[in-house]
């Protein structure tokens, strides 16, 4: 049980209390407690164990008791009773972006509806627009969010899928009788969102029932969706479906290619097999009969995925490139592509501190970076226009520089090979200019230029805005270019191919924002980026010390987008990185 687990539960109470129309002050107390615990630097468990929860500011006796019960029983009575009182349908409305509990409660009470489908109708009919404080615009926004839910509700973010898949995979791998086991499907291909989780294993026949028994009894499983001789499907705690398939050991490599996908990649693979007088399916590679049918009596012996690729005149194609987006041409000719790996990342770029909206001090962020083995940290708090995120005034900037100088002096005195770079995440203003006068911008080691407002500008204006930001000599790199939030909000309407060309021409990098909410630059622009020689950097956009670990997801996407270490800035050591920055200037 982490601090974040507790905060999440308290926030759930806050939301449901508002839906239930409970006393505002009581509800807000839960929200405040959640915020406090989110920002707590000590482990909440230590407070629970020593019975000192009420010593935390903003945690009264009653919330302390709720937290204690949550720790003891896994739930809170206050939450359970709320869940009984609030209509189930309404709770689903909370997933509609831009619709807060207050509005939900208002619409529900005025129109007496509880289902998402009814809400949709009420938006179309104009009933929602007529409510006080709502209007046509709000109704349209709600409709758009519902459409989004309908399309993506069945998918999940990469980090959420990994949090389920990793423990289950580790568990299965060690079961008696397992010969081989891998995560397959979209997760193995490192897609940014995942439908269901596919796990593939091989085992001899007599072991299969016991393996399925163990799988369906795993602690994360809440429901068994189906069970057959070769496949079993379950639903896990947060609603995710996991499929486990078990094949015969000799079928494993063909099955792994098949169930890794993508479908598009598989189609080309089967075609290549036929062109070479063979048939490829999920069981193996076979010769064709004279009548061009699969001859199951004549298997082509292969024991690894590489063997199968070789028979089809290809070098091994790494799973993250199996999308039928140019990989066949490349791996016909080339043995491999030099791809960035997590160990090659030397520095943490794009991190926020308490100076703006981060939860930890610069020194804390640096300590965590050091303990994770990084050589440098580029602190990039928000700029002054982003006042909602605590953006820095010019005075703040100067004082922050002094703090960074002091810390760097300290590292030098201590003989530590660690540097903090002075950075800023500057808002790109609506005309494309950056957020400080030149004499301040000059003082930064690096400037990440990002759009945080007016994301819905018409394309032409937006492109002009980006062009100006790229042409600004102080811009080191663009941050999260589209501004999308995965499964929540579309990105800006921009022509990214053009932006990539401009950036590459002027030597501006475009970050791969590693936050699993963003993963922006999208990997689909990897081919274009490669063709132009675009530079990038795998940036965690960390607002907490824990957030630094998001680099993991960014590296997965960078590999998928075909970036090797030479085009990833933060694979350079701090000396090389500093040199690149000064050459850019
Ligand atoms: P997802 O789950 O929507 O994120 O995406 P995938 O790629 O994991 O798709 P899924 O779970 O439906 O199937 C896993 C793999 O199995 C898929 O990548 C390719 C293979 N596969 C499934 N159905 C078909 C099919 O109808 N034709 C072909 N060629 N391959 C299939
Ligand atoms: Ca899948
Ligand atoms: Ca599946
Ligand atoms: Zn940002």
With a 6 Å cutoff on the Cβ, whether 306 touches ligand 1 is no
Q: Give pLDDT, residue 491.
A: 95
354, burial (CB in 10 Å: exposed 0-12, middle 13-18, buried 19+): middle
With a 6 Å cutoff on the Cβ, whether 138 touches ligand 1 is no
If one compares 41 and 161, the residue with the highest pLDDT of the two is 161
Model confidence at 425: pLDDT above 90 = yes
With a 6 Å cutoff on the Cβ, whether 186 touches ligand 1 is yes
The residue behind tokens 């924002």 is 513
Q: Give pLDDT, residue 501.
A: 98
Confidence of residue 239 (pLDDT cuts 50, 70, 90): low
What is the tens place of the pLDDT at every residue in 299-332?
A: 999 999 999 999 999 999 999 999 999 999 999 9
Q: Calculate how far, in angstroms, residue 198's C-alpha sits from the geometric centre of ligand 3.
A: 5
Q: Give pLDDT, residue 144.
A: 85
- Say which CATH class 251-333 falls into: alpha beta
Beta bridge partners of 287: 278, 295
The residue behind tokens 């996908």 is 261
Model confidence at 387: pLDDT above 70 = yes
**In degrees to the nearest 10, what's the CA dihedral of 426, 429, 431, 436?**
-60
Rounded CA separation 190/23 (Å): 45
Rounded CA separation 339/331 (Å): 14
Specify whether the backbone of 133 is left (phi greater than 0), alpha (psi in -120 to 50) or beta. left
**What's the average model confidence in pLDDT over 119-147?**
92
Rounded CA separation 336/315 (Å): 7
Q: Are 358 and 401 in contact (CB under 8 A)?
A: no
Residues 6+ apart with CB under 8 A from 225: 233, 234, 235, 241
The residue behind tokens 């499964």 is 487
Which residue's CA lies nearest to atom 16 of ligand 1? 259
**CATH number listed for the domain at residues 156-247:** 3.30.460.10
Beta bridge partners of 226: 233
Percent of the chain with pLDDT over 90: 84
Model confidence at 421: pLDDT above 80 = yes
Which residue's CA lies nearest to atom 1 of ligand 1? 195
Q: Are 383 and 436 in contact (CB under 8 A)?
A: yes
Residue 541, SS3 per DSSP:
coil
Q: Are 390 and 356 in contact (CB under 8 A)?
A: yes
Q: Give pLDDT, residue 372.
A: 98
Q: Is this structure's pTM higher than 0.75?
A: yes
Q: Calculate how far, in angstroms, residue 245's C-alpha sits from the geometric centre of ligand 3.
A: 10
With CA atoms as reference, report the closest residue to 347 among 583, 190, 565: 565
The answer to whether 156-247 and 251-333 have equal CATH topology is: no
Domain ranges in the chain are 3-152, 156-247, 251-333, 342-584
Residue 2, SS3 per DSSP:
coil
Q: Quote the tokens at residue 223.
A: 């429901």
- According to CATH, the topology of domain 3-152 is DNA polymerase; domain 1 (1.10.150)
Q: List the single range of 239-253, 309-323, 417-431, 549-563 with lowest mean pLDDT.
A: 239-253
Q: Give pLDDT, residue 147.
A: 84
DSSP 428: -
Task: Tell which atom from ligand 1 comes closest to the C-alpha of 194.
Answer: 4
b (16+ CB within 10 A) / e for 129-162? bebeebeeebbebbbbbbebbeeeeebbbbbbbb
What is the tens place of the pLDDT at every residue in 519-541?
A: 999 999 999 999 999 999 999 99
**What's the average model confidence in pLDDT over 391-417?**
98
* CATH superfamily of this structure's domain 342-584: Metal-dependent hydrolases (3.20.20.140)
Which residue's CA lies nearest to atom 29 of ligand 1? 263
Q: Calculate how far, in angstroms, residue 93's C-alpha sits from the geometric centre of ligand 3.
A: 27
In 248-375, DSSP assigns E strands to 278-280, 285-288, 294-299, 347-351
- Please give the mean pLDDT across all residues of the chain: 95
With a 6 Å cutoff on the Cβ, whether 185 touches ligand 1 is yes
Q: Are 243 and 231 in contact (CB under 8 A)?
A: yes
What is the tens place of the pLDDT at every residue in 297-306?
A: 999 999 999 9
**What's the average model confidence in pLDDT over 204-225?**
94
Confidence of residue 99 (pLDDT cuts 50, 70, 90): confident
Confidence of residue 96 (pLDDT cuts 50, 70, 90): confident
Which among 186, 193, 254, 269 is the best mutation to test ligand 1's pocket, defined by most ligand atoms within 8 Å of the CB? Answer: 186
């Amino acid at each position: 049980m982490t601090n974040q687990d507790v905060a999440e539960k308290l926030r759930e109470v806050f939301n449901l209390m508002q839906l239930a129309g409970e006393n505002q002050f009581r509800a807000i107390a839960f929200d405040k407690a959640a915020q406090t615990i989110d920002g707590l630097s000590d482990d909440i468990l230590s407070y629970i164990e020593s019975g000192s929860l009420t010593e935390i500011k903003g945690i009264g006796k009653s919330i302390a008791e709720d937290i204690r019960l949550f720790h003891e029983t896994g739930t809170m009575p206050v939450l359970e009773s709320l869940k009984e009182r609030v209509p189930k349908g309404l709770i689903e409305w909370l997933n509609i972006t831009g619709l807060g509990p207050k509005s939900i409660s208002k619409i529900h009470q005025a129109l007496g509806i509880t289902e998402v489908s009814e809400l949709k109708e009420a938006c179309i009919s104009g009933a929602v627009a007529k409510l006080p404080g709502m209007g046509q615009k709000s109704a349209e926004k709600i409709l758009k969010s519902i459409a989004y839910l309908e399309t993506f509700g069945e998918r999940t973010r990469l980090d959420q899928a990994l949090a389920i898949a990793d423990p289950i995979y580790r568990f299965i791998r060690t079961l008696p009788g397992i010969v081989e086991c891998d995560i397959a499907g979209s997760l193995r291909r490192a897609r940014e969102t995942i439908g269901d989780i596919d796990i593939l294993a091989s085992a001899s026949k007599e072991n299969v029932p016991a393996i399925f028994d163990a799988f369906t009894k795993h602690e994360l499983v809440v429901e068994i969706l189906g069970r057959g001789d070769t496949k079993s499907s379950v639903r896990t705690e947060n609603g995710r479906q996991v499929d486990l398939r078990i094949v015969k050991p000799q079928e494993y490599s063909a099955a792994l290619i098949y169930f890794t996908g993508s479908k598009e990649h598989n189609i080309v693979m089967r075609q290549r097999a036929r062109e070479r007088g063979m048939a490829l399916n999920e069981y193996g590679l076979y010769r064709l009969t004279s009548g061009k049918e699969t001859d199951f009596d004549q298997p082509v012996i292969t024991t690894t995925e590489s063997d199968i690729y070789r028979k089809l005149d290809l070098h091994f194609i790494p799973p993250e490139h199996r999308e039928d987006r140019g990989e066949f041409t490349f791996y016909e000719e080339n043995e491999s592509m030099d791809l960035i790996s997590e160990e090659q990342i030397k520095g943490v770029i794009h991190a926020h501190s308490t100076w703006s909206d981060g939860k930890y001090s610069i020194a804390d962020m640096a300590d965590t970076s050091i303990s994770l083995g990084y050589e440098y940290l580029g602190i990039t708090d928000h700029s002054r226009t982003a006042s909602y995120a605590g953006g820095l005034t010019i005075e703040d900037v100067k004082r922050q520089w002094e703090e960074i100088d002091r810390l760097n002096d300290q590292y030098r005195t201590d003989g530590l090979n660690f540097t903090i770079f002075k950075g800023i995440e500057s808002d790109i203003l609506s005309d494309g200019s950056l957020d400080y006068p030149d004499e301040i911008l000059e003082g930064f080691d690096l400037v990440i230029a990002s759009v945080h407002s007016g994301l819905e500008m018409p394309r032409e204006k937006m492109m002009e805005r980006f062009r100006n930001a790229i042409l600004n000599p102080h811009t080191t790199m663009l941050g999260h270019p589209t501004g999308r939030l995965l499964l929540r909000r579309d990105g800006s309407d921009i022509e990214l191919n053009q932006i990539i060309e401009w950036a590459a021409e002027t030597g501006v990098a475009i970050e791969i924002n590693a936050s699993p909410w963003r993963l922006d630059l999208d990997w689909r622009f990897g081919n274009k980026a490669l063709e132009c020689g675009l530079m990038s950097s795998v940036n965690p956009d960390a607002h907490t010390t824990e957030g630094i670990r998001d680099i993991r997801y960014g590296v997965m996407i960078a590999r998928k987008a075909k970036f090797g270490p030479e085009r990833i800035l933060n694979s350079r050591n701090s000396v090389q990185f500093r040199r690149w920055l000064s050459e850019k200037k």
